[in-house]
Amino acid sequence: MRRALVTGGSSPIGQAICRTLAAAGCEVVIHTHRARDTAQALAAEIAAAGGTATVTAFDVTKTEESRAAVEALLPAGPIQVLVHNAGIHDDVPFAGMSESQWSQVIDVSLNGFYNVARPLILPMMGTRWGRIVAVTSLSALMGNRGQVAYAAAKAGLHGAVRALSLECCSRGITVNAVAPGIIDTPATADLFDAAKLAALVPMKRAGRADEVADLVAFLASDRAGYVSGQIVSINGGMA
């Protein structure tokens, strides 16, 4: 059974990814920072459905804390699937953006990727099979007003994915990014009514978290063994 670590696993999209990977036969390690109760409930739900899941809690912005937490997972077996879904946004026009607003967004998405992936990469290479998927955003491809930091962080992941894929291809490891558009979550429910969705999205609806999860699970599977270094957008035809 392959082991999968999903950062930000307690978020709505993260939960969907965890459920889908577990249903595909992975032992899922659900990462959270502060929402331990939500993560534990998800692990129990997965177990009740016949899957296997555990929880780990740490701050992905802290290099040593992340390294210690990730390395503590390895005695039970290598992590062969990493889904970096952790991310935050703090939307504000750039002219009014504080240093802390910029840094916090960059830290979670971009530095968090380094902090989690770096301790896992050599053990993953040792197995000669691996899948790394970064969950990014359509904002990184198209830009979005008020999201300069968020777009920069996610676009940085696109560059990291493309470069890391070249370092890993010969070791049986693929590295890709999934860039969702407007997805139906509590965070977006109040921002986009039916009229706004119809104006913005050619498919006239928001995407579902399980649709994102299905794409991530495909990229994490044997079937996607020849797909690497790609930014795959799931956005209802927006771009």
CATH code of the domain in which 149 resides: 3.40.50.720
pLDDT value of position 185:
87
Catalytic residues: 150
- Residue 117 is predicted with a pLDDT of 98
**Which of 189 and 201 is assigned the larger pLDDT?**
201
> Which residues lie below 8 Å from residue 198, measured CB to CB, with a gap of 6+?
204
DSSP summary character for residue 110: I
Q: How many Å from the N-terminal Cα to the C-terminal Cα in the chain?
A: 37
> Is 239 inside a domain boundary?
no
Is the model's pLDDT at 189 over the cut of 80? no
Q: How far apart are CA 77 and CA 160, in angstroms?
A: 26
Q: Decide if pLDDT at 198 tops 90.
A: no
How many separate domains does the chain show? 1
Neighbour tally for 211: CB within 10 Å: 17
Give the pLDDT of residue 8. Answer: 98
CA distance linking residue 91 with residue 76, whole number of Å: 40
In a domain, 45, yes or no: yes
Give the pLDDT confidence of 71-119 residue by residue, as tens digits: 999 999 999 999 999 999 999 999 999 999 999 999 999 999 999 999 9
> Residue 70 in contact with residue 5, Cβ under 8 Å?
yes
85 located within any domain: yes
Residue 239 pLDDT exceeds 90: no
108 within domain boundaries: yes
Please report the pLDDT score of residue 195 as a whole number. 87
Does pLDDT of 229 surpass 80? Answer: yes
Q: What percent of the chain has pLDDT over 70?
A: 100
Pairing of the two strands 173-180 and 130-135:
parallel
What pLDDT shows up at residue 192? 80
Q: Which two tokens stand for residue 64?
A: 């040593």
List the structure tokens of 142: 């198209």
Give pairs for 107-112: CB < 8 Å, separation 24+.
107/61, 108/60, 108/61, 108/153, 109/136, 109/150, 109/153, 109/154, 109/156, 109/157, 110/153, 110/156, 110/157, 110/160, 111/60, 111/61, 111/63, 112/7, 112/60, 112/61, 112/66, 112/84, 112/86, 112/87
Lowest mean pLDDT among 47-56, 105-114, 128-137, 188-197: 188-197
Residue 162 pLDDT greater than 90, yes or no: yes
Mean pLDDT value of segment 138-147: 94
* Beta carbons of 201 and 180 less than 8 angstroms apart: no
pLDDT given for residue 177 in this prediction? 98
CA distance 152 to 229: 18
What CA–CA distance (Å, rounded) separates 73 from 31?
11
Detail the DSSP E strand segments found in 64-158. 79-84, 130-135
Domain hosting 178: range is 3-234
pLDDT score for 108: 98
Better-scored residue on pLDDT, 90 or 186: 90
**Residue 183: inside a domain:** yes
